A and B are shown apart, each in its own frame.
Chain A
Amino acid sequence: GAGVSQSPRYKVAKRGQDVALRCDPISGHVSLFWYQQALGQGPEFLTYFQNEAQLDKSGLPSDRFFAERPEGSVSTLKIQRTQQEDSAVYLCASSSQVRDEQYFGPGTRLTVT
């Protein structure tokens, strides 16, 4: 079956632009996570959704970052007024139940110039 998909796969933004990154989780998966992976580092947690409820946003680095999952399926991570330090790979993961294995998407590589 289809896995987690993310779009776009690559995004180049000029500093100050807004970007929106999309995640399509595996159908029926309850939990959805966003992680940020800087070059040469491991992924770092950004935010967690259980269905449409955002239960944890403690990892969002600033108020320029915003995530939503309005219908409990597709999720969008929005970054306003992008800065160079936002350059990273943004990973989305989903799991069927709260404590099940997470399945990761291929990521979106964001480059801010």
Chain B
Amino acid sequence: AQSVTQLDSQVPVFEEAPVELRCNYSSSVSVYLFWYVQYPNQGLQLLLKYLSGSTLVESINGFEAEFNKSQTSFHLRKPSVHISDTAEYFCAVTPSGGYNKLIFGAGTRLAVHP
């Protein structure tokens, strides 16, 4: 079985400051890793994913995440946040074989203040 732990339920940060949202996972098999974002009153959107290859993955809006197998982590980072990044962020995993049944963490609420 797999599980995901998001260590911070809320992260307040000022605009243009850097941010890191932490995610650790547990699994006895190899996994694929994802970050999803949920803006207020909207559905979940895929932000970025790690399937294989380079352990550093990037999104089109400046976020990046690094897969660290030894630490079983997939932390999300952005060097300079905007007000519009305010949202709920979910880390998720799925076993690398079979279909994409996602196991989510509890979420981290990122609040960007002016």
Contact = CB atoms under 8 A, between A and B. Distances in A.
A99 B99 contact: yes
Interface string B78-106: 00000000000010100000011111111
B100 A42 contact: no
B100 A98 contact: yes
Contacts of A102: 46, 100, 102
Which 10 pairs between the two chains have the least Cβ-Cβ distance? A42-B104, A104-B44, A104-B43, A106-B43, A42-B106, A43-B104, A98-B99, A42-B107, A42-B105, A42-B90
A2 B103 CA distance: 26
B42 interface: yes
Interface residues of A, number: 27
Given A41-B107, A43-B44, A105-B43, A50 B99 contact: yes
Given A35-B102, A100-B100, 19 more contacts: A33-B102, A42-B6, A43-B44, A43-B102, A43-B104, A44-B104, A48-B99, A48-B101, A50-B99, A55-B99, A91-B44, A93-B44, A99-B99, A101-B49, A102-B46, A102-B100, A104-B45, A106-B42, A106-B43
A40 B106 contact: yes
Contact of B43 (A45, A50, A99, A107): A107
B100 to A, nearest CB: 6
A84 B94 CA distance: 30
Interface of A: 3-4, 31, 33, 35, 40-45, 48, 50, 55-56, 91, 93, 95, 98-102, 104-107
Interface residues of B, number: 21
Given A105-B43, A107-B43, A45 B106 contact: no
19 contacts: A4-B43, A33-B100, A33-B102, A35-B104, A43-B44, A43-B90, A43-B104, A48-B99, A50-B99, A56-B99, A93-B44, A95-B100, A98-B100, A100-B100, A102-B46, A102-B100, A104-B36, A105-B43, A106-B41
